[in-house]
A and B are shown apart, each in its own frame.
Chain A
Amino acid sequence: MFVGVAYAAEEGGSSISVVPVLADIWPSILAFLLLFFLLRKFAFGPISSTLDKRAATIKESLEKAEQTKVEAERMLEEYKQQMAEARGEAGKVIEQGRKVAESMKAEIVAQANKDAEAIVAKAHEAMEAEKKAAIGELQASVADLSVAVAGKLIGEKLSTADHASLIEKYVAEVGSLNDN
């Protein structure tokens, strides 16, 4: 069958040949070279530069975005730190205030106590002194009075010795009063 094909092809006057035909060679090289120069100038050049430009643009915007992100993160971190610092500071201030207030309170109370004690003590002292003075005065006046009363009562009947012992007895009695 294929033998027949070959024969038929030969009879047709056009068998398949691997020998290039010159009429195919020059148009193909011309077409290629023309296409190459035209495409390089008007298509591939612009496309290539656009691709490069786009890559650069994308890279740039990505870099910018990255930069912005880093900046934002840094700022956030800063704010957080500042906030924490402020919070700590405020806590410290409050704590300090409380401490100061407490110490002031303690001081005031202590002072008050002390003052009160001092006042009481002073009052005591004053009272004691008054009392002593009063007692002393009283003793003197009682002795005088009693001497005068006694003299008035018994007149001159008492001797000096009796007088003295009487006074002493009396004073001792008043002194025992003082002991109570």
Chain B
Amino acid sequence: MDGFAEKLASKLHHYSVLPFSDVNGTVDAVDPFVLTNYTFFLIIAFVITLAFFLVAARRVSIVPQGIGQVAEAGYEFIRNLCVDNMGKDGAKYAPFIGTLFFFILFNNVIGLVPGALPGTGSIGVTATWALMVFIVYNAIGFKKNGVIGYLKSFVPSGVREMGPGGRFTLGPFIFVLELVGHFLRPLTLAVRLYANMFAGGIILGIFGIFMILGAQQLGALGITMTGFGFMMLVIMYGFKVFVAFIQAYVFAILTSVYIGGALHASEH
């Protein structure tokens, strides 16, 4: 098992945020305006997403054809998700949810390419988007229900209709709890996506290291380790493909649920 720790450390080094020009260097702090290894792949994903949709949008017509069909099906899926979770006027927010979903999806899929990194594997990227979602859905909530109305909706109507005793003891308690819950939303959104994409790479790395170490050893132990490593690598790669899609979907569906909750806050 010699060298496992060093190899894992180098894997962790590979997955940490580094300047793109100096990925093998030992940099403690990354300058704020430097291209990092994650933003490099983020920009690649940006270009691919944009190119895909610009090309697909030209093929979109009344009669379905080619790549346009894929884009259409994807957009319709997102629109249905919005309408399901936000009600009839949810289609208005479909471009926002759609951009989130497809950008995250393309980022995740790029992370499947060996050697590449998913842009969403950096907490900086996911936290930015999660914070943006937080701001957007709260802005929608304030705009739709008014400041007082939206804050009021944090306390369930059952508590609001209680006698003064229940209202003044339970009300603030639930309000604070609900507030904490709201602030946890962007945190969990960010960490869920980041952890899934980041951990996927690390796990693949670990089984890759297993294979390499097994190949360096002789005899039955080496063959077993290599075989086990390869098998797990294939299984985990399949799992990673699944996770790439499901995490984009979860991010989109949770965003739409949050926006839907803000839209209909005063109804319950």
Contacts and interface: CB of A to CB of B under 8 A. Distances in A.
Contacts, number: 168
B100 to A, nearest CB: 8
Given A9-B12, A51-B75, A23 B60 contact: no
Contacts of A35: 46, 49-50, 99, 103
B122 interface: yes
B260 interface: no
B83 to A, nearest CB: 12
A12 B57 CA distance: 46
B50 A38 contact: yes
Contact of A53 (B26, B36, B62): B62
A31 B50 CA distance: 10
B8 A5 contact: yes
Given A20-B123, A50-B62, A53-B62, A14 B32 contact: no
Chain A interface category by residue count: 35 or more
B132 A23 contact: no
Interface of B: 1, 4-6, 8-10, 12-13, 15-19, 26-28, 30-36, 38-39, 42-43, 46, 49-50, 53-54, 56-57, 60-62, 71-72, 75-76, 79, 91, 94-96, 98-100, 102-103, 119, 122-125, 127-129, 132, 191, 198
Given A24-B38, A36-B95, A47-B56, 19 more contacts: A5-B5, A5-B8, A9-B12, A18-B191, A21-B122, A22-B30, A23-B30, A23-B31, A27-B39, A27-B43, A35-B49, A36-B96, A36-B99, A44-B98, A46-B57, A46-B60, A48-B79, A51-B72, A51-B75
